Every structure is written in structure tokens, then in C-alpha cells.
Chains A and B, each alone.
Chain A
Amino acid sequence: MGLMKKRTIISYWLIILIPTLLISFYFFKLLSHERERLENEALLTVKNQAEQIAETIRITMDTVEDELGNALINIDDRNLKEILLSFEKTNPLVRNVFIYNNESGLKYPYKGIASTKEEKLFTQRYDAFFSGRVKFESTIDLIIDEIEEEMIANVEKDSLYSLDRKKSGYESIKANKALPDDILDTNTGYSVKSKSKKVRMKESGRKKLVSFARQKAEVKKELVDFSLQKNTEWLTWFSDNRLYILGWVKLNENIIYGFELEIVTILSQITLEFPEKVSDGLAYALTDGTGSILHKSGNLDIPKKSKPFFTSDLLPSLPHWQIAVYMDKNFKSKNRFDLFVILTGLLLGIFIFSIITGGVLLTLLAYRNMLDASQKTTFVSNVSHELKTPLTSIRMYAELLGEGRVKDEEKKKKYLEVIIDESRRLTRLVNNVLNFSRLERGLKKYNLAEISMTEYFKEIADSATFSSKGTKLNYNINIPGHNVNIVTDKDAIKQVMLNLIDNAIKYASDGKTIDLSMEIEENSCKLNVSDRGPGIPKDHSEKIFEKFHRVDNSLTSKKQGAGLGLSIAKNIVQDLGGSMIYEPRKGGGSSFIIILPLTGDLKNG
């Protein structure tokens, strides 16, 4: 019956546990997908941040070029040199200024002693232009030339567009084409772009324009008109692997003026666009054409030749410059993975742990209940059996006396004694059961009073000796010579003592001698009940004080009892502030010791 129940509980528990484990597993898988998604999101955020930096820089550059470009166009050409020089003197974005004449060469900076060291380096840098080897050619001119070239090649018949003005430009583009267009040579290279108030020419725009112009020849005329307006052209120039930007305006057929931008100043402004705080293992950097780092934001050390995770170009204003994102191998896992796994693992761990412990606890509880139930059943049958035996004797002797058949006075007296004895036994039994129930409910009341323990112990021992007269039992009594007073409940102590003595008689009557002894120690007084019976098996020595526990619990047990005596005794002693222990006796037998505390002021009384 019990086994069946146990199995049911375990199977119920397994029914819950197995699906839980399965769901957990599935959940974990799902979460790891989620983790991947979050990782990707983190990487995307990093990418977006880089793109954002790049875009801000592009806008900054556009603004710089727009503002300076407009300023350049709007210079009053009567005071050209003075205004340019005041630009150079006051504008931190202007590094050098120049005025160039197609026919007579460089007008400013002056040659020789009159130019500063910086100006000398500047003219050297752009020597290709200032010496006349390479012409200042605007994007619009290049486009017009391209269209014209195609027209000459394809449509000879169209005589409408033979513009004399462009002849020279056509020649110059040929000279120009020898140079790489918008391509970086390791040492020297250049790219051209055009910018004005109305139209901004970007590479893609230029291509569109070219194809568009191929279809509609009218556009070319507009372009020619447009090219006659003043535009600021921007030239990016590489010298010794460094980027330089030159802005220039064609004032008329011959005179070209402009300035060189101060790249370092721009760079110092650009660095402010980078975030001040960057997560560990990550760095945003600005790199130039050679891959060297111009600025870095973030604590990550970037080893040479390491590849960026992501790059964003800064075209068209800053060719070959890039916003690069570097991250160390652990960045993904360090920031996302670990925490994620720990958290989900912890969650699942707690989940499973609570289910298992819950299950175990429930099983244990059910098992306990089952045990209790069976103990109670045994108890009831034990008590009934106990009650039945004395009642049978009482009834039998009472009937014999009632019928009046027993004439012998001696015999009558003996029968009456049996009846009284059995009634006493019954009373004790009932008292035990009542006490037990009171103790269980915490209702037991004690009448505390100061008594002489030595005298009281003697009294109990004497009455035990007296009642054993005529039996084979011997009592060995050992009482200390001096008196000790304690505050306790007289009746309760007596009940405990009698329970122990009863036990000794019941289980150890063969041993013939019961030892009753009392010892007084400094703080306590010890009452000892020992026998020479079979003793208590080791594995029961702890449990004997539990309620309903019997060493031999079967109904067929030779010894009668409800398993209450020791439990009640221990409870009472504890209630009185003492303790009770069992000790196996040397040489065989049991020894029960009641330890009662001596209250401070009574110790020596």
C-alpha cells in the first residue's frame, strides 16, 4: 500500500520534471538565438555609430568647403592679394594662399627671400601646377571635354557645337589624362571635384551628367554657360603620403587664385566627433591612405597591420581616409555572451533546482505522513491491547468474587489485590495517554514547588522496593549522604521515574537487579535508572525517545506497550528544564539518566 503511494508520487513528479527539462532545453536554444540576435544588434550599433561619425565628418567637410568656397568666390578682385593674406592671417583653416597667372606664373607667394619657409614648401608641393606642367582644370571643363570628345568621335555631322572656346580645353584634358584621375599614387596623385552655390559635382553625379549629356546636347550649352561662372574647385593632393586640399577659383582666362586648407585644424575638429567613452575591446579610428591611425577613440590597443572590423570612407572630401572600427576577438563574447549565458544558466538552474527540491520535499513529507499514520494505527491497537489485558484480569477476579464461590479469605484477599494492582496499572496507562495528549498540545501544567530531592528520591525508591516484595526483583539503591533542594513538579518527577522503573521491570526482569542511584554535581543532580536487561540496539538508541517508537513494533511482540513512556518522560524532563539521556551500561544493560538543573540559590540548600 505504502510502496504504491510512493511510486505514484515519484511518477507524478517525473511527469512534471521531464517536460520541464525538455522545455528548459528548448528555451535555452531559443535564448541562444536571441543572444545571437543581440550580438548582431550590438555590432550593428557599432557600425551605425561609425557611419554616423563618418557622416558628421562629411558634413563638416562640406560645410568647411562651402563656406570657404563661397568666401573665395566673393573676394573683391581689386584687393585680391590683401584679402587672401588676411584670410591666411586670421582663418585657422587656411594654411597658404596663392595667386597664379597662366602666362607669367606664380604672383604670390613671392619667389626668393621674400617668401617664408612655409611658403617655399608650399610652392614646392604644388610645383606641378605652379610651373605650368599641369593645368588648373575644372570638373565642368572636363565633362564638357568628355562630351565633346564623344561627339567628335561619333557625330561628325552635327556642326552646331563646334565651339572654338573649348579647343584649348580639349587639348588640356589630353595632357591631363596621363595623370591618374582620382587615384592615389603612393607619392603623388590628385583628384578633382567641383563645388559651387548651385551645383555640387560628385563622382556619381558626374557620370549621370555625362550620360545625360550624351542624350541631350542642349545640356552641353548650359554646362558651358555654367562653366563661365566663378566656381570654387577643390583639389585633393598627395605629397609624401600626406593629404593636402587646395581650393581655387578661376578669376578670368589667366588668373587663378585660392588657398590651401590647414588639414591639421580640420583633423583636430574631426576628433571631437568621436565618442569620448567607448566600451572595452572596441575602438573607433580615423585612418589615412597608408593605414596609419590619425586619431583613435577607445582603450583598445590596435596592433600594426590589424584589420578593422568595419570601415567607412570619407569621400569625396577626404579620399583614402576612413573611419575604421577595431574590436578585439572577445568583444562580442566579452560584452554580450558571458553575461547572457550566466543569466540564462542561472535562471534555468534555479528553475530545475526548485522543481527537484520541491519534489524531494513533497515525497519526504508524504513518506512521513504515511509513517505517522501507520504508527498511529499500531498505537491504537497497542493501547487497546494494553487496556484489554488488565481489564480481563479484573473482570475474571471480580466475577469469581461476585459468584461467592471463593470462600478462602486468603484467596479473596489475593484476588482483590490483583484487581487493585491491575486497576492501578490501568490508571497509569490512561494517565500516560492523557499526559501524552496534553504534552502534545502543550497543555500540560506543572505545579512547581521546592522539594528535597534526596528525600523524594528515597521515597520513590522505597515504594518501588515495597511493591516488588515477593518478586524475584532486587533493587540496588544508592542515595547521596547530603540533601539537595530543587524546584520542580513532584508528581511529574515521580511519573518519569515510575515510567523508567516500569520499563526496566518490563524489559529487564530477567536481569534481577535494578540500580537506582542519585548523584549531585555542581550544577545538576543526576537520577539514574539502570538494569541488566538486553539493552537497546545501537540503531534505535536515538529513536527510542520518539513518540510511538518501539524497538519491536510488531503486534506479536512479547512485551506490551504503546511506545509512549520514554517520549513522555523526556518531554516532561525537558519541560522542567532538564534533560534525559540513554547510555548503554558497561557489562550489558541500559542506563537512563535524568539530569535536573540546580537553580542558583538552591544549589547548596
Chain B
Amino acid sequence: MKTGIGTILFTFCFIFTANVTFAKGFSTNKIILDIELDREIFYTGKPVKAVLKVSVKSRGRTKRRVPVNLAILIDRSASMKGAKMQMALRSAIYAAKRLGKNDIVSIVTYGNSVETVIPAGTSFNEEDLAKVNSIQPSGNTALFSGISRAIHEIRKNLNKNFINRIIIISDGFANIGITDTEDFERLGASLKKERISVSTIGIGTEYNEDLMVGISQKSSGNSYFVETAKKLLKVFETEISLLTSVVARDISLKIKCQNGVIPIRIVGREGRINNSTITLNLDQLCRYQKKFALLEIMVPKGKSLKNIGIASANVTYEDPLLKRDRDIEGAISASYSDKENIVKSSENYDVQKSYIKNLNAISNEKALKLLDKGKKKEAVSELKESTKRLREAVNINKDEDVLLEAEEMKQDLEEVTKKGKFSKKKRKFLKMKSFKTRNQQAD
């Protein structure tokens, strides 16, 4: 009988703990807010560390899209000669032709100096095509000047309602003018304020992935690594389809922890924790895309069967098509149980998996930095911890995806232990992977 009541109560709690979202103007909202915990029932008796996952995804599809203001910046330094240049030009032409008559395209090249090949404009004609095809690679890599010129082309149409994007194609280190990664990151951060994002495509193994990923990350663009020029066009297709399917921008997330729940840290993304309020930016959301923020929290101890409101979330964003600010709210609560198996059965593997993957991404980046500084020992122990984490997850859930990652991690660890550092290609691959994981960039 007692168990019967318990079951009823438990079922009741379960219904209650299901997260609820309250959307203002429900029917016109472009995004769906989803709040989850890594488990829905906490063990009584002591404060517990938990993971909160707040995600947004786009709702349905829209026929219309926001016009695009695109500047393509092509490295025409001597090293680009041959297939790389050919494919870069082909990709640029592809982009220019694929975009519609309301979109704006400009093409800028940089080598020793910068040249605006096609100034910002809506039509792309045969004459322009000839101009693009006549680009000849030579000289050095004046990346900063190149970006400055591309920004200039974007700014010509900044006041109108466009999705602004700069796509950089490069295969080398910037070696003229400003070359510090930090400076490029700052430039990315300042561009984001003007709603300009920079996507970077690195070709081959000789470019500076820290710089390229840095500017993309800070300006909320995408970053790609293609080993050979062959894959360039495909990457461009991906980028253009992302670019032409932005459904929400300036997505800002505010999470308030309730009832003595304490935020510990944000995992994967950058944000701010001010007492019990957490703010972070998810920037843009594309059709079919899902973005999330992970938060480590400390849930206070409570009594069995007691229900507790964990956090509420508020998302504000701009609907770029209607140029209207919108917001959506949601909240999550959980309950306690003193039965370990009940706690166990309430676990949300999806959240745990995201969490582990992000932790690994951070570990990888940390290990890369340590290796750059020559601290092999520390890097190895960082990677070992990651592998251990993955192994444990595999043992519990038998997830093939995670298993695969664990295997890769094991190989990475062996490579580092043997050689003391990663190959250029491997380093780029790892950097890209953690960037994609942390920013939920689609492949």
C-alpha cells in the first residue's frame, strides 16, 4: 500500500517536473526553448552537482528569408597557386550565383596588398565573372588589411536589414601588418556588435587555425578546415545554406537559478555568472539547427518527494524577417528521492552526452595549449582524464558515438605520448572539432 502511494506520488512528481515553457505570442515564435537537467530526481541528504541544459531550436520552416550581405575574402598569396586558387574562385562564383537578386555580394582579395575585385552590389554579371577569373596569386598574406577592406564593403549596406557575413578563404599565416591571434579575436568581437560575423575556411595544414577559429568564434561565425581544395566547394555550399536560413539572431539567454540552487560554471560557451543569474549569447540560429548552453549547478539538499523549482530561463531574440524583438520563457523543476534506483532511472543521457562532449572539447583545447607551451606531462594527464570520462560513459550506455570518440581519444593520447606533440593536421582537426562541439556548428 505504502509503495502504491509512493508510486502515485512519484508519477505525480514526474508530471510536475516536466519542463514547461510559456511563450509570448506562441504562434509567431520562431524558436522553441527547451530546458533539461541531467537527471530529474535528486538524491536526498546532501547538495548535488547537476548539469542544466538550455537549448533553442528553430520551429518549422519559413518560405521567405532575410537577404544576405556577403563579402568573400580570398587569400591570393603565392601559396594559393593552382588547385587551391581555382577552387576558391569557383566557390566564390558559386556563392555569387546562388544568392538572389536581393542579396549583396562583394569579393575582395589580399596578397601583398588588397584589391576589391567586385565591390558590394546585387548583380553579378559576365564582366564580374571575368574579373574574378583573372585573379592571379602572388606575394604575401596581408590578412588584416584584407579583412578591413571586406568590412568596408559590408558596412556599405549595414543600415539595411541584412544577414552580414564575411567568408575568409586562406591557406597561410598572416605575415603582413597585424598578425596576433588576440587582435583578430578582438576584431571579431567588435564586428559582432555590428552584426557582422566572420566565417573562416582554412585550406591545407599551413594556416593559423587559432587565429581563424578565434575570429569566427568571437564574431559568431563558422569555421572550417579542408585538407585539400577538393572539399572547398562543399564547405561553401554548407556555409551558404546556413547563411540563407537564419531564423533568429541576437539570441540572448538569461537563466535565473531558484531556491538556493547555485550556478558553478558555464561549460563550453562564454558567459557571465552574476550571483544566481547567468547571461550568455547564442547569437544566430539557423533552420534545423539546435544550440544550447550547459551550466553546472549545485542543487541544495532536500527531502524525499519534495518538489523544487530549479531555474527559469528567458530568451530574447530578433526575428530578422519581421525585424521584431521577441522573447520566450521557460522553467524547470525537479524532485528528490532517497531511492538510488529512482534517481538513476531519471537520468537524462542526452544531457550527459552533451556535457561530456563539451568537457572533452575543453580538455582538448587545454591540452593543445599545454602542448604549445611544451608541457607534455600536463597535456597527457588532461587527455587521460578525458579518455577516462568517455570510457565510463561508454560502460554505462554503450553509445557507439561516444565509443568512437573514446577510441579517437585513445589514439590521440598515444600520439602525444610518443611524439610529444600533434601533427599540424591533427592539431587543426582537434581545434575544429572542439570549436564545433562548443558552438554546435553543423558539419
Contacts and interface: CB of A to CB of B under 8 A. Distances in A.
A95 interface: yes
Contacts of A262: 186, 189-190
A114 B272 contact: yes
Interface string B121-135: 000000000000000
Interface string A287-302: 0000001111111010
Chain A contact residues (Cβ within 8 angstroms of B): what range? 20 to 34
Contact of A89 (B116, B186, B193, B273): B193
Contacts of A264: 178, 183-184, 186-187, 190
A534 interface: no
Contacts of B184: 264
Contacts of A95: 186, 190
B176 A92 contact: no
Interface stretch (A265-273, A450-458, A489-497, A518-526): A265-273
Contacts of B149: 271-272
A212 interface: no
Contacts of B27: none
A447 B125 CA distance: 76
A296 B186 contact: no
Given A92-B194, A276-B114, A295 B178 contact: yes
A114 B266 CA distance: 12
B154 to A, nearest CB: 12
A266 to B, nearest CB: 10
A113 B115 CA distance: 45
Tell me the interface secondary structure of chain B in the complex. Answer: mixed
B275 A295 contact: no
A264 B190 CA distance: 9
A92 B191 contact: yes
B193 A296 contact: no
Interface stretch (B39-47, B138-146, B203-211): B138-146
A110 interface: yes
Contacts of A89: 193
Nearest to B194: A92
Contacts of A301: 140
Nearest to B140: A301
B4 interface: no
B374 to A, nearest CB: 21
Contacts of B187: 264-265, 268
A113 B274 CA distance: 7
Nearest to B275: A114
A276 B148 contact: no
Contact of A295 (B140, B144, B190, B273): B144
Nearest to A114: B274
Nearest to B147: A268
Contacts of B147: 268
B113 interface: yes
Interface in A265-319: 265, 267-269, 271-272, 276-278, 293-299, 301
B139 A299 contact: yes
A92 B193 CA distance: 6
B270 A117 contact: yes
A294 B272 contact: no
Contacts of A116: 270-272
A276 B115 contact: yes
Nearest to A297: B113
Contact of A276 (B113, B178, B265): B113
Contacts of B274: 110, 114
Given A116-B272, A264-B183, A264-B187, A297 B145 contact: yes
Contact of B193 (A90, A267, A278, A297): A90
A348 interface: no
A299 B113 contact: yes
Interface string B169-191: 00000001110000110110111
Given A113-B265, A267-B178, A268-B147, 16 more contacts: A92-B194, A93-B190, A116-B272, A262-B190, A264-B184, A264-B187, A265-B190, A268-B151, A268-B187, A269-B148, A272-B149, A276-B116, A277-B113, A294-B177, A299-B112, A299-B139
